[in-house]
Amino acid sequence: MTKTMASTLKNRVEIWREEIISDDIGDTKQDVFIKKVWGKLSPNSLKSLSQGEAETKNSQNQYKLLFREGIDIRKNDFIRFKNQDYYVDYTIPYFNDISYREAYLTLKVE
């Protein structure tokens, strides 16, 4: 039995978008839930950066999310999975199957 591409999408992730909300007080930025989608979240690379101040370390973990074509993921969005936020760097078409896309994400840990 052959495995379909859709059967590899095992992670249920949430898409969130930072939008400007206008009210009587003024404009504020607020995180707005967009939708839940199935995707395949996998690690891509790890960068560990040392800061000179107070011996702090900062690491940037880059991940890749494979998802179906037609889902609107923008650069200012972030993906929430297991209470961690992954910020969208960019998206590209998945060249093995045109009905899918890849989003490259950054998880920043301080």
pLDDT over threshold 70, residue 108: no
**95 band by pLDDT with thresholds 50, 70 and 90:** confident
- The CATH number assigned to the domain holding 76 equals 2.40.10.370
Rg (CA), the chain: 17
Structural domain of residue 54, as residue ranges?
Answer: 8-109
The residue with greater pLDDT, 69 or 60, is: 69
User: Considering the domain boundaries, does residue 3 fall inside one?
Assistant: no
pLDDT over threshold 70, residue 48: no
Phi and psi angles of residue 8, each rounded to the nearest 5 degrees, phi first: -85, -10
Cα dihedral 99, 5, 47, 13, rounded to 10, equals 80
Give yes or no for a contact between 106 and 65, defined as CB atoms under 8 angstroms apart.
Answer: no
* Digit-coded pLDDT (tens) for 4-13: 777 888 889 9
How many structural domains does the chain have? 1
Q: Give the C-alpha separation, 67 to 56, whole Å.
A: 35
Q: What angle do CA 36, 91, 86 make, to 5 degrees?
A: 55
Q: What mean pLDDT value characterizes the chain? A: 83
User: CB burial class (10 A; 0-12, 13-18, 19+) of residue 39?
Assistant: buried
pLDDT over threshold 80, residue 78: yes
User: Considering the domain boundaries, does residue 1 fall inside one?
Assistant: no
Average pLDDT over residues 76-93: 91
User: Considering the domain boundaries, does residue 2 fall inside one?
Assistant: no
pLDDT, residue 33, reads 93
